[in-house]
C-alpha cells in the first residue's frame, strides 16, 4: 500500500472545522481515509490528522496534489507529513479505536547498521504491548513540513488509555526505545522534535 500522512495546524477552531468539511467532501480515490480532529495529548501533532491509503503509488500521487490544495487554505497555519509504502502488521486481538502516528528524523550520517538496530527496537513494542491492534514502521519517501522526516511509526490502539498508559509507560519502551531519543544517552540518533499525533480511528 502507498500511504499519505498530513498533520495540519489550523489558525482557530472555526478554521479547523471548515478544513475538515472540505477534506471530507473531497474524493481522494483512496482505499482507506481518516480525516479527524486530533485528540488531547498530541505533541506537534496538529489539529487535523489525515491518513490516506492507496493501492498503488500512481493513484496516491495524483491524490496528494488534491489533498495539499485543500491544506493550502489560509485557515491552515502549518502542515507536517510524509508519503511512504508498506503493509500493516496485525497485533493483539482487539478493535483499534485510536489511530496514532509518529513522524521522526534519524540524524543524518547515521550508519545503516545502527538505523536497522533502531528499527528492530521499535518493532519490539507490538510484541509486548497488548493494546496495539495493528502497526506499521516505514521509511519516508517524501517529507513535508518542519523536518525531513525519515520514518513513520503508526499503530491502531484499543483506546486512548492503551496508548498513553501501557504503550508509553511499558518497560520495553524505556529500556529499549527511549535511548534512541534521549539526548543524555550516547545511543541517541533522533535529534529533532518528533510529531506524535492521534485521533479516533474512523475510516471513511
Q: Which long-range contacts (CB under 8 A, 24 or more apart) does 54-57 make?
A: 54/1, 54/2, 54/3, 54/4, 54/29, 54/30, 55/1, 55/2, 55/31, 56/2, 57/2, 57/85
The CATH number given to whatever domain includes residue 104 is: 3.30.70.100
Q: What is the pLDDT of residue 162?
A: 77
Q: What is the pLDDT of residue 92?
A: 65
Please report, in tens digits, the pLDDT of each residue of the chain (204 residues total): 999 999 999 999 999 999 999 999 999 999 999 999 999 999 999 999 999 999 888 888 889 999 999 999 999 999 999 999 999 988 766 678 999 999 999 999 999 999 999 999 999 888 877 788 899 999 999 999 989 999 999 999 888 887 777 666 656 666 677 888 888 888 899 988 899 999 999 877
Number of domains within the chain? 1
Q: What is the pLDDT of residue 174?
A: 60
Residue 29 lies in domain: 2-200
Q: What is the pLDDT of residue 59?
A: 85
Amino acid at each position: 500500500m502507498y500511504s499519505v500522512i498530513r498533520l495540519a495546524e489550523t489558525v482557530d477552531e472555526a478554521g479547523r472545522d471548515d478544513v475538515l468539511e472540505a477534506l471530507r467532501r473531497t474524493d481522494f480515490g483512496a482505499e482507506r481515509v481518516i480525516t479527524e480532529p486530533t485528540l488531547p495529548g498530541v505533541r506537534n501533532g496538529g489539529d487535523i490528522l489525515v491518513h490516506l491509503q492507496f493501492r498503488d503509488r500512481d493513484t496516491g500521487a495524483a491524490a496528494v496534489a488534491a489533498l495539499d490544495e485543500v491544506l493550502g487554505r489560509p485557515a491552515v497555519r502549518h502542515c507536517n507529513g510524509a508519503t511512504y509504502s508498506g503493509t500493516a502488521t496485525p497485533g493483539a486481538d482487539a478493535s483499534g479505536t485510536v489511530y496514532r502516528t509518529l513522524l521522526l528524523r534519524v540524524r543524518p550520517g547515521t550508519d545503516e547498521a545502527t538505523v536497522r538496530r533502531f528499527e528492530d527496537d521499535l518493532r519490539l513494542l507490538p510484541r509486548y504491548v497488548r493494546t496495539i491492534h495493528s502497526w506499521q514502521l516505514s521509511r519516508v519517501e517524501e517529507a513535508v513540513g518542519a523536518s525531513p522526516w525519515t520514518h513513520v511509526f503508526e499503530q491502531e490502539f484499543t483506546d486512548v488509555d492503551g496508548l498513553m498508559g501501557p504503550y508509553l509507560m511499558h518497560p520495553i519502551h524505556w529500556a529499549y526505545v527511549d535511548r534512541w531519543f534521549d539526548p543524555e544517552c550516547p545511543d541517541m540518533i533522533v535529534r529533532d522534535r518528533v510529531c506524535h499525533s492521534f485521533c479516533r480511528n474512523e475510516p471513511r
